[in-house]
Amino acid sequence: MATLKVKDGTEIYYKDWGTGQPIVFSHGWPLDGDAWDAQMVFLGQQGYQVIAHDRRGHGRSGQSWEGNEMDTYADDLAELFNALDLKDAIMIGHSTGGGEVARYIGRHGTSRVAKAVLIGAVPPVMLKSASNPEGLPIEVFDGIRAGVKADRSQFFKDLPVPFYGYNREGAKTSQGVIDDFWRMGMLGSIKGELDCIKAFSETDFTEDLKKIDVPTLVLHGDDDQIVPIDASGKKSAKLISGSTLKIVAGGSHGMCTVMADEINEILLGFIKG
């Protein structure tokens, strides 16, 4: 098991497979690096070095009481970049991980980064406000907190249904995917996961997005029930200079899993382009 001890002593677990140009994956909440298995195997077989870490408080990484916020997440990732001496990397972030990618670039720049991909990502900011009327009201996130506190196990059995679009007519539900979502969610720290709800919902990434100066793909499903495209993907694409917005018809929040073949081909095309 590969781990990196970062500056506050927290151990960050990561997977590092293959050789070639590095691709670094940042996962969504409440998951871990295993959420990227379909992409890592595919892109690894195409001749890339594929790396996915478990964010602190998630998966197999340390369960720190403090530091469960975007600045520290980004700094943890920077320490991993430095430890592995990654250069010319492609950063891919899903949901909360898209915020992590944006904050990493906002704080650490793109000297080690060649391209970026934001998939169903939370930037620029999820929380509804007078200046962000397309966002989601605070009651939505308070409901998530209440669900995690009251019965985290059941909450992580229920959430995958809209997450993967299994509540849509004609959807083919996979109990295995639901069970794996539950497994990843329950492996994390309840404290870290609760803190992360505030991090992914209330952090404003506007200035981070404006600092992205590498080719960037904003990839979002038009049926994302978790991170609405009008409040996120469409706005982010306008804030990132020269970015490409790709809308996936029928794409759910979890489309990297349930539409893996289509998403993998889109990613490979962007990486090679």
Domains within the chain, CATH numbers bracketed? 2-272 (3.40.50.1820)
Task: Check 95, 201, 232, 243 and give the catalytic one.
Answer: 95
Q: Cα dihedral angle (208, 209, 212, 215), rounded to 10 degrees? A: 160
Beta-sheet strand order (sheet of 113-119): 2-5, 11-17, 49-53, 22-26, 89-94, 113-119, 216-221, 244-248
Which pair of structure tokens corresponds to residue 13? 């677990």
- pTM for this entry: 0.97
From 32, 195, 208, 224, active-site residue: 224
Bridge partners, 119 (sequence order): 94, 219
Say if residues 209 and 78 touch (Cβ distance below 8 Å): no
Q: Is 95 a catalytic residue?
A: yes
Q: Is 253 a catalytic residue?
A: yes
- Distance, CA of 18 to CA of 40 (rounded, Å): 10
Point out the catalytic residue in the list 53, 94, 220, 253: 253
Q: Residue 189 catalytic?
A: no
One digit per residue, the tens of pLDDT, for the chain of length 273 reads: 799 999 999 999 999 999 999 999 999 999 999 999 999 999 999 999 999 999 999 999 999 999 999 999 999 999 999 999 999 999 999 999 999 999 999 999 999 999 999 999 999 999 999 999 999 999 999 999 999 999 999 999 999 999 999 999 999 999 999 999 999 999 999 999 999 999 999 999 999 999 999 999 999 999 999 999 999 999 999 999 999 999 999 999 999 999 999 999 999 999 999
